[in-house]
Every structure is written in structure tokens, then in C-alpha cells.
Structure 1
Amino acid sequence: MSAAAPNSKSQSSLREDLTCAICCDLFTEPVMLGCMHHFCKHCISTYWRGTQTPVSCPQCRKEFTTKHFQTNYLVTAMVEKVRASTSDCYVKNIQKRQKDLLEAHRQRREDFITVLNRDEDKMECIKLPQLRPPLEVDPGPELDLNGFSSRYMAPLQYITWRKMFKSLKPGPAPVTFDVDTAHPSVYVSRDRTIAVDCDSMVPYQPNPKRFLQSVNVLGAQGFQDGRHYWEVGVGSKAKWDLGVASERVDRQARVKLSPESGYWTLRLREGDQYSAGTQPWTRLQVGWSPQMIGVFLDCDERKVSFYNADDMSLLYSFSNGPRGRVLPFFSPCVNDTNQKPQPIQLLHYPPVDLTC
């Protein structure tokens, strides 16, 4: 076991060295510029398309008087070997991580159901005491039902039955990212569930729905009635913005996140500074950093609420929410550190079989 670890790290490092800085994938037909940097032939051709000379290297910004590059057959051979030797291993590692996460969720769900069954058995054993004459009791202060409803009633089934997804109505929405709206510096995975900010521009096709001034991306699924809930894995990211946006927001201008501009959002900065997207920003006191954020949208009541999806504690709720059709909103934000950018991930859960 100890001998396998260095080999795995070495393969991972080699794979990174053979990754194109434009498409963030292994080289396809690698070519070399005069500055010795390598890119996919298609990626650099697309990057320079429509650009007058002089052109520049996307990585070091060195300028060249002509659009010239040279095919590197040695790197081509190395890429093919790495692709053949690591693709299966890479997929297996991802599958193992997903399997471990699902197993942990399954175990917590079973523990939760066991506790519920035990409490139900206890309730059946309780016998009503002999009825006694009613006592006259001072009614006391009235319960603020509106305040109670705004904090608890809307997500009550998620707080109580969150892990029994098959019985939830509505169940967690299988939201995916809309690539046509992604800013050019936001890379979206092929299954549309992972988004991460990149140092270089992704060669997306021009689209009027695309954000051009801010590092944002919208969900592909829109909502205008009913209740909807989805969860976003933020992990240890130090910066992000999440929420909903009106489908009519201006994609070409610089975004100002506020309800007046069509955004209802929660933000994180510096790793521990949480704020609600009001004008001005409302600072929030959060005990510990959530790894998953739950977004609850009630179109009929015009409410948008944010939860720590680990324990379903309320982080913030907008009571005067959107009108009309809205879309899930996400921003992985620009990476200000020298560390590898951390992604945000849309969490999808398989149906749970609750039959005996």
C-alpha cells in the first residue's frame, strides 16, 4: 500500500502537466508555441480566431507576429500513454468517492429511520390517563403564527423528513447548470453539475444569455409556481454567491446582487463572512461553515430561504421574494489565492425505497 501512493501522486502530477490551460482537459493534438507552452490545436486556433496579429500566449501573454505553432509528437505520445493508463483509474477514484458519500448518507438515513420507529413504538405504549374535569387556565399571550410560519412551516418537511427523499413533496429538484449562461471564465462539467472558475477563458460559443461582466452561471431549470428545493455543495470554498435570479436580469452588464436588481442571494467572503444580498448587505452570524447549502423557493408565498443543509438550520429568508419566472443562480467567484480553485457542485440524490 505504501508503494502505491507515490506512483498515484506521480501520475496525477503528470496528468496536470499534460492538461490544456484553455479546455482544462488532456491535450488533443498538442502544439507548442514559441514560448514553449503547449495547448490543444483546436483550443489555440479557436482562441486566436478573429484576432489580428500580433497574437499572444494565453498562459504567459508573450506576443507573436504570426499565428504559428508546431506539432509536438513527443507530447502527443505521452498524452496517449497517460490517457490509456489513468482514465480507468481516474474514473474508479471518482466512483469510489461517490460510493463512499452515498454509503455515509445511507447509514445516516437508516439511523434516522431507526430512531423514528423507536419513538413510534413508545407512543403506541402511552395510555391516556383518566379524564379529569377541565381546568380554567389563563389564555396568556397569543402565539405569533405569522412569525412561526415564516421560520418553520415552509421547510418543515425538509427539517423532519429530509433524508426520506422519496416521500417529500416536492422532492429536491435535480437542478443543472445552463452552459449557455456561463461566464467564459466558468468551466462547467459535462454532466452540468460542477462549476469552477478558471484562470483562462473557456471557448464558449457566443450567446445572448451568457454573463459577460461577472463570473456567474444560471440553472437550466426555471420556476414560476409551487415550492422547490435544491442543495449546493460548497465544500471549503472561501468565496461564493448562491440564490435565485429573475430570468429578465441583464446578462451583459455588471451584476449588482440585490432584490431591486432581480437577485435574491446569500454570499460568503473570506471563508467565514456570510451576508444576505440586501441593500446594504446584511451580515449573518453563522456558528460553523456549512459544507452544503439548501435553497428553498416558495413561488406562491414569494419566499426564498437558505439553510445549512447539514442540519437544516435557517441561515436567512427573504419574505418579499420574486414575481414571475426565476432561475437558480450561482457564482463560484474569482479565485484570489494561489491555491487550486475549488468547485461548487449541484447535489442530486437517488430515490429512497421506504417499502417494508
Structure 2
Amino acid sequence: MRFAERVFALQGESAFDVLSKVQRMERDGRDVVSFAIGEPDFDTPEHIKAAGIRAIEENHTHYTPSAGILPFREAIARYVERTRGIDVSPDEVVVTPGAKPILFCGILCCVNPGDEVLTPSPGFPTYESVIRYAGGVPVPLPFVEEKNFSFDTETFRRLVTPKTRMVLLNFPHNPTGGVASREDLEAVAAIAREKDLWVLSDEIYREMAYEGDVPSIASLPGMKERTIILDGFSKTYAMTGWRLGFAVLPRELAAHVTKLVTNSVSCTAAFVQMAGIAALEGPQDAVRSMVAEYRARRDLLCDALATFPGVVCQKPRGAFYAYANVTEACRRLGVSDSRAFQEKLLEEAGVAVLSRNCFGSRNVGEDQEYVRFCYATSRERIAEGLRRIREFLEK
């Protein structure tokens, strides 16, 4: 069989390989505590579900404009104005079925073959995959423990070359929960303006912040005109299965992205967009409750991990992930790296985590071992997982 060469640039997600193994073990009768997959364990709030059901009953089941229905784009514009402090017009908003299409469309519209894109490392593996699919060259930007899992601005400046076309940022950060300071973002903004770079700012976890507001680079002077804000409803509103995302981006680029949407998926389901309006403009109590619960789970998990032999774990400032340094634990257990640690922990203790290799290529000189914990699971299961990990480490 013959395939186009570009398909081989795409990668899967190692997280789903771990999920498959967990499910196989559970079918065989094993009880597994999973900290692996990054999906809220809450249900979609009732008023959002009701709005979606009502929209179906009112026959909002037909094609919509590819960029999204106007009332929804207006609601998104108001939301982004409130949360980022920037003026947004509805024709600067494009709605997509999930947030991943924004990655594809934004990169396909802005990155030519051979162009370099600075991308978080460790980071969401789809970043590297899509950049390569578009013919671009991913350049890892280390997010380091010493900077509370942000990046070193001098390292950033050294990585920018005449071939750099885009900088991809993600705060709060998956997998570490790190948040950039305004000073870090100002350093990126200064270079972006000087070198005429695009910035794709993945802000999907923005509402899950524990230590104050999360600044958006689009709010800095001269940056809205060169920034693609990526956001969506999967995490904030526990709507992963609804597939609903959006971009805020310059008007001319929005027109090009809309053409890609037209030529790929046509549009996003009308009744889902109606539910999105209810999410943004209805009561936010459920969001606040979810974030408060995530904070309590974070504290439970990280406070315990900090006492475990061979483990160092900073408290994340956002998202629902903790990124634990297990370098010494690997040495004590006699395993080669975090992947071997992940496999041994799953097989022997029945606890699933994701190792460093699940989040892109290692940085040059990177010599520490990490695993990611997703604490989107109940406190009872977190406590049970912690009990098993302690026993595993102390045996």
C-alpha cells in the first residue's frame, strides 16, 4: 500500500497506550488507580446539558456558518474581553469541534516547510506532531524545574533564529502545571515584535489557576495582532465529549482558518454551540467548585509526594497535573528512566502515571526523570494511589 509521506510525520499519544494497558488490566480483574489521562472526572454542569437538549428539541441540528453562529462568537468575544482585557470582534473568532483543529489550522496557515516553531518541552505531544505534519521544524523550548516550570528567557532568545516563524506557548502548562510570569511573556513579546513572529497561545487550562490570574500574551502591547489564542470547553466546563473549541486571532487570519474549517469539517454542531453560550453566560458556580476541588486534590497529592523517598514535587500553579521529579526514586529502584519507573509502578503497584517520554523529545542535556500525575480523580482514589506508591517505594 502506498501512502503520502506526510502521514508518517504524525504521532499518536502515548497516554492512550497507557490507557489501553490500564483497561486491559482491569478486564483481567486488576484494580488500577489511574493518574494517567487528562480528563475531568466531573459531569458537564446541568444548565449546559439542558441548553444542549433544548437546542436539539428546537431543531438547532442543521449546518451553521463555518466560523460559528454569530451569537456564540459574540459570547466568546465578550468572554475573552472579560478574561484577557482585550477588545475582540466576533469576526476575530473561529469556532471548531474541539480545540485541536486550532492547532492544525493555525500552524497550517502560518508555518511554511522548513520554518522553525519553538514549542514547550516537555509539552503536549500533538504540538510536535502537527508542526512536522505541516513541514515545520519543532525546536524544543525547555520548561525547567528551576523556573517553576516556565522557561529561561535567555535560552529562549538563543533559540530564535532567522528561520523561526512561530512560538507556541501553553499556560497553565501540560504536563507540569507551570505558569509564566508577565516578565517571561514580555520577553517573548519583545522578540516576536522585533522578528515578526506569530505566537500560538494555548490557554485551554486558563480557568484552572490556583495562584492568581494567568496572563495572556495577547494582552501585551502589539501582541493581539500576532497572537492566536486557543481555548475551549473540554477542561473548564467538563465538556470533553462535546468537542467544542475556539480561536481568537487577527481578522485576516481568521478568514484563512475559516476556509480550512469549511474544507475539513464544514462546521461545529449547532446544538453544541448553543450549549457553549449557556456555558459562558450562565452561572459559573460549577466551575468554581471544580477548581476548588482540584486545588484540594493538588494539596493532598503534592503534600504526600513531597514526603516520599526519592521524589521531589513542586505544587503546580494551574491545570490538574503534578510533575514529579523521580530521578532519585529511579536510582533507588534500580530502573533506568522514568518510562521504566512508569511500567514498574503499573505492573507491581497497580498505579498508572505518564513518564517524561510521553511529552515530546528530551532537551539537550536533560538528565532528570519525571512522571506526570493527573489528579482529576476522587480524593479517595488519590489516597489509595498514594498508599500504593509509598509501599512501592519503601519495599
Q: Give the TM-score normalised by the residue count of structure 1.
A: 0.26
* Bigger strand fraction: 1
Q: Give the TM-score normalised by the residue count of structure 2.
A: 0.24
Structure possessing the higher radius of gyration over alpha carbons = 1
